[in-house]
Amino acid sequence: MWDVALDALIDTLKLFPFLFLLYILIELMEHKTKVGKPSKALSGRWAPAIGTATGILPMCGFSVMAAKLYEHRHVTIGTLIAVFTATSDEGLLVLLLSDGGMGWEQRIFSLLAMVGCKLVLGLAAGYALDALIKRRVAPMPEHAHIHTATHEEHEGHTHVRDEAHEEHEGHTHAQGEVHEDHDHGDCACDELSACEHKKEGKVRLYLLSPLLHALEVAAFVLAVNLAFGYLFYALGEENVIAFLQGTGYWLQPLICPVIGAIPNCASSVVLAEVYTLGGIGFGGLLAGLTVNAGLGYLVLFRRGSWKRGLAIFLGMLAFSVAIGYAASAVALAI
Instruction: Read off the pLDDT of residues 182-238 as tens digits, 9 standing for 90 and up.
Output: 444 444 445 544 554 455 577 777 788 888 888 887 888 788 778 877 877 787 777
Asked if 291 and 261 count as a contact pair (C-beta separation under 8 A), the reply is yes
**pLDDT reading at 180 higher than 90:** no
Report the pLDDT value the prediction gives residue 81, as an integer from 0 to 100: 96
Sorting pLDDT into bands at 50, 70 and 90, what band is 302?
confident
Q: pLDDT by residue (tens digit) across 52-74?
A: 998 898 776 788 888 888 988 88
Q: Please count the helices (runs of H) and the strands (runs of E) in the chain.
A: 15, 0
Higher-confidence position of 245 and 304: 245
Asked if 248 and 256 count as a contact pair (C-beta separation under 8 A), the reply is no
| Cα separations in angstroms, 66 against 1, 154, 194, 305 | 32, 28, 37, 16
**pLDDT reading at 259 higher than 70:** yes
Please list the helix, strand and coil fractions of the chain in percent, rounded to the nearest 5, in that order: 80, 0, 20
Report the pLDDT value the prediction gives residue 242, as an integer from 0 to 100: 80
**pLDDT reading at 283 higher than 90:** yes
Task: Look at the pTM and tell me if it is higher than 0.95.
Answer: no
| Single-letter code of the amino acid located at 117 | C
Higher-confidence position of 3 and 31: 3
Q: Where are the domains of the chain?
A: 2-142+209-333, 143-208
Report the pLDDT value the prediction gives residue 286, as an integer from 0 to 100: 95
| Single-letter code of the amino acid located at 215 | L
CA dihedral over 23, 26, 28, 34, signed as positive or negative: positive
CB atoms within 10 A of CB 107: 20
CA distance 209 to 147: 11
